[in-house]
Amino acid sequence: MIGKIKADLEHRYKRHEHRLDHVLGVAETAMDLGERVGLDSRKLLIAALLHDITKYESDEYHQEKIKEHFSNSEEIFSEYSPKLWHTFSAYVYAIEEYQIDDSDILEAILHHAIGAPAMNPYAEILFLSDYIEPNRTYNSCVKVRQIANESIDKAIYEAMNDTILFHQQEGERIPKIALEARDYYQMKQEELWKN
């Protein structure tokens, strides 16, 4: 399956080479971090390779897939900016094109951009890897990469917080789940601190 996904990516990103570099960077980072916390590297690799697979599809494509597969599609359209719709369509793509039914992988793909409260460990690692992979050079990514060396939970919280602040500055809508996720990972760190 991995070879087939790689060929699929090369075909889909023919005119977007930097995206292939990004996806491979996410995969490499996810495998490294996953090894640290004892996750199944094949599952992580599949999630990483598929997470942005529908990135260059049209808004109409995303809308169609979302309408077909999510009963709350109207809510999704009003709450999530179109930039985030690829997270839903990539989730659908993994099911339809690769018959993936592993909820760890599917959840990781679905939540990769803004996270969710109490994500499974694969989703946590993919979310963080998407933020800190080596091709990311923003100050926040460099900072979070550093934090990830010490604490994965703290790095996840910082990445969520900076993402929210950035989108607020840009005047973009912030889905409720992003705020709930940030609260959850802040609380998780405080709990850890107390113990």
Binding site for Fe ion (CB under 5 A): 52, 113, 130
Residue closer to Fe ion, measured from CB, 166 or 187: 166
Min CB(39)–Fe ion separation in Å: 18
Residue 39 is classified by DSSP as -
Q: By the 8 A CB rule, do 68 and 40 touch?
A: no
Min CB(128)–Fe ion separation in Å: 12
Min CB(51)–Fe ion separation in Å: 6
Residue closer to Fe ion, measured from CB, 113 or 155: 113
Q: By the 8 A CB rule, do 105 and 95 touch?
A: no
Residue closer to Fe ion, measured from CB, 14 or 83: 83
Residue closer to Fe ion, measured from CB, 152 or 188: 152
Query: How far is residue 46's CA from residue 91's CA, in Å, rounded to a whole number?
Result: 12
Min CB(77)–Fe ion separation in Å: 18
Q: By the 8 A CB rule, do 185 and 153 touch?
A: yes
DSSP 109-148: HHTTTT--TT--HHHHHHHHHHHHSTT--SHHHHHHHHHH
